[in-house]
Each structure stands twice: as C-alpha cells, then as structure tokens.
C-alpha cells in the first residue's frame, strides 16, 4: 500500500519540474521515462547531405502488443508533414508482395529502395513507459524509439525517443476520495479512444523533431543529383 501511495504522490510533487521539449539523445534524466515529457533527439549532419524526401515506414517488430498497427498508422500520418512521399501500411505490403521482398533482409531493402525510388526507412520500437493500475489510480504510458536510416549499415540520420503518459485517479484520503479515485481510474482504463490519442501524441512529438526542409515538390522525386528519370514504382503501377 505504501508503494501505491508513493506512486500517487510522485506525479503531483514533480509536475512543476518535469522537463519538456527536446534534449540530447541518451541524456540522463532525473525522472523515469514515464514522468519525463521531453523528447530525446539526435540529428546527424549526414541528414542534410542526404536530404531524404521519401521514406518507407517499417512495421514495429514481432512480439509487440496489439497497439502496433495504431502506432504505425500514427507514425505514417505524421511523417507526411516532413516528407513528400511516405510509403506505409497497405502500400508497403502491396509493393512487398509485388516485388517479392522481405524488408528484414538488407539486400531486399536495397532492391525495394531502388525499384520504388524511396531510399530511406523509418523504423520504430517500444521504449520506456510502464502501465499501472492501483484501483484508485491508473496510468497509461506509450513510449517509442524511432530512427531514420538509408537501409544499410550506416549510422542513423536521425533518431528520437519519447514517452507519452495519461493518468487519472486521486489520493485515497477519505472514503469519498477512494470512491472518486476508483471511478476516475476505471474510466481511464475503459477509455477505448485512449490508444489512438496516445499513439498520435507520441508520433507527433517524435516527427516534430525532424527538420522541415520544405522539399515537397508534388509528384516530382528529388535526389542529390536532381530529378530522377522516370516515375517511381507505386502501388498502382
């Protein structure tokens, strides 16, 4: 019981001093990830040399929970705020079936990138955060570590990680407080829209750390050498 009470009080005591905004990737925090609202970011100088204009969103790895499709959709949606073309979900699967490739294989990723004229990949995996349900208090946490690569063995052009948290309940200081806290905690647990909301929040926070280079050019695909000859392979081809 003492542990639960401390878990209830800690967010209240730290609310005023919780760090927010971007900070260096891997920086040591004074708070656990699920109480830290900041986003850790590492942006390589190579990003500006590569000027990635098209990315393929790879699915979250096997063995993750049922929220993976929701997170993938959110990452795809927000990535469109930074890149001219984003291949994700249905389009990626259709292209993989057509090209007979497995994007976990480096050689297949290279072939996929060549055929689609989309040379960069955005991957993401669970990171940090822990759910808690203590009858009078409930906390939900969704954390993601993401990175952008060229599909090879080179270092990531960009990587970032963030944990978003939702909590509800109250301190059990009286019988009425117990009832109210239990109701609020149960309401949070039963909120069916919460996974969508939290997935959108964590994806938005991550993608917002990517520089907006204004490379959108409609249907034209650019590379370092200029405009490509011919259109890239798409799902409708």
Give the per-residue pLDDT at 166: 80
Q: What is the mean pLDDT of the chain?
A: 76
State mean pLDDT over 174-202.
74
Pairwise CA distance, residues 127 & 143, whole Å: 5
Pairing, β 120-126 against β 137-149: antiparallel
Reported as a pLDDT band with limits 50, 70 and 90, residue 58 is very high
pTM of the model as a whole: 0.75
- Look at 13 and 171; give whichever has higher pLDDT: 171
State mean pLDDT over 101-128.
92
Q: Which CATH class is domain 32-214?
A: alpha beta
Q: So where are the chain's domains? A: 32-214
Q: Which of 73-87, 113-127, 196-210, 216-230 has the lowest mean pLDDT?
A: 216-230
Reported as a pLDDT band with limits 50, 70 and 90, residue 218 is very low
Give the per-residue pLDDT at 45: 92
Give the per-residue pLDDT at 12: 44
CA distances to 192, 193, 210, 220 from 79, in Å: 25, 22, 9, 18
State mean pLDDT over 185-198.
75
Predicted confidence (pLDDT) at residue 143 exceeds the cutoff of 50 = yes
Give the per-residue pLDDT at 44: 93
Reported as a pLDDT band with limits 50, 70 and 90, residue 234 is low
Pairwise CA distance, residues 67 & 201, whole Å: 14
Predicted confidence (pLDDT) at residue 190 exceeds the cutoff of 70 = no
Extract the tokens encoding 54: 């098209």
Give the per-residue pLDDT at 23: 75
Q: pLDDT tens digits for 73-95?
A: 999 999 999 999 999 989 999 99
Reported as a pLDDT band with limits 50, 70 and 90, residue 171 is low
Q: What is the DSSP string of 45-94?
A: THHHHH---EEEEPPPPTT--TTHHHHHHHHHHHHTTT-SEEE-THHHHH
Reported as a pLDDT band with limits 50, 70 and 90, residue 59 is confident
CA distances to 29, 54, 131, 166, 209 from 34, in Å: 11, 32, 9, 10, 19
Pairwise CA distance, residues 237 & 98, whole Å: 10
Give the per-residue pLDDT at 137: 74
Residue owning tokens 């309940």: 169
The 3-state secondary structure of 160-185, one letter per residue: EEEEEEEEEECCCCCHHHHHHHHHHH
Q: 209 near 22, Cβ under 8 Å?
A: yes
């Amino acid at each position: 019981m003492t542990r639960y009470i401390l878990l209830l009080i800690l967010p209240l005591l730290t609310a005023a001093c919780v760090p927010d905004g971007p900070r260096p990737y891997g920086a040591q925090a004074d708070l656990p990830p699920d109480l830290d609202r900041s986003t850790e970011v590492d942006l390589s100088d190579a990003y500006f040399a590569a000027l990635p204009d098209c990315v393929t969103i790879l699915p979250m790895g096997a063995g993750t929970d049922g929220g993976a499709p929701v997170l993938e959709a959110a990452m795809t949606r927000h990535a469109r705020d930074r890149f001219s073309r984003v291949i994700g979900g249905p389009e990626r699967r259709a292209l993989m079936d057509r090209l007979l490739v497995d994007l976990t294989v480096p050689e297949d990723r290279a072939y996929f990138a060549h055929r689609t004229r989309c040379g960069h990949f955005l991957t993401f995996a669970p990171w940090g955060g822990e759910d808690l349900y203590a009858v009078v208090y409930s906390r939900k946490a969704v954390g993601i570590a993401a990175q952008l690569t060229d599909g090879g063995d080179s270092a990531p052009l960009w990587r970032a990680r963030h944990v978003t948290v939702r909590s509800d309940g109250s301190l059990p200081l009286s019988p009425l407080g117990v009832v109210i806290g239990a109701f609020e905690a149960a309401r949070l647990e039963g909120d069916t829209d919460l996974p969508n909301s939290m997935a959108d929040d964590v994806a938005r926070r991550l993608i917002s750390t990517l520089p907006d280079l204004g490379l959108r050019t409609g249907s034209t695909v650019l590379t370092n050498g200029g405009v490509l000859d011919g259109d890239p392979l798409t799902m409708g081809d």
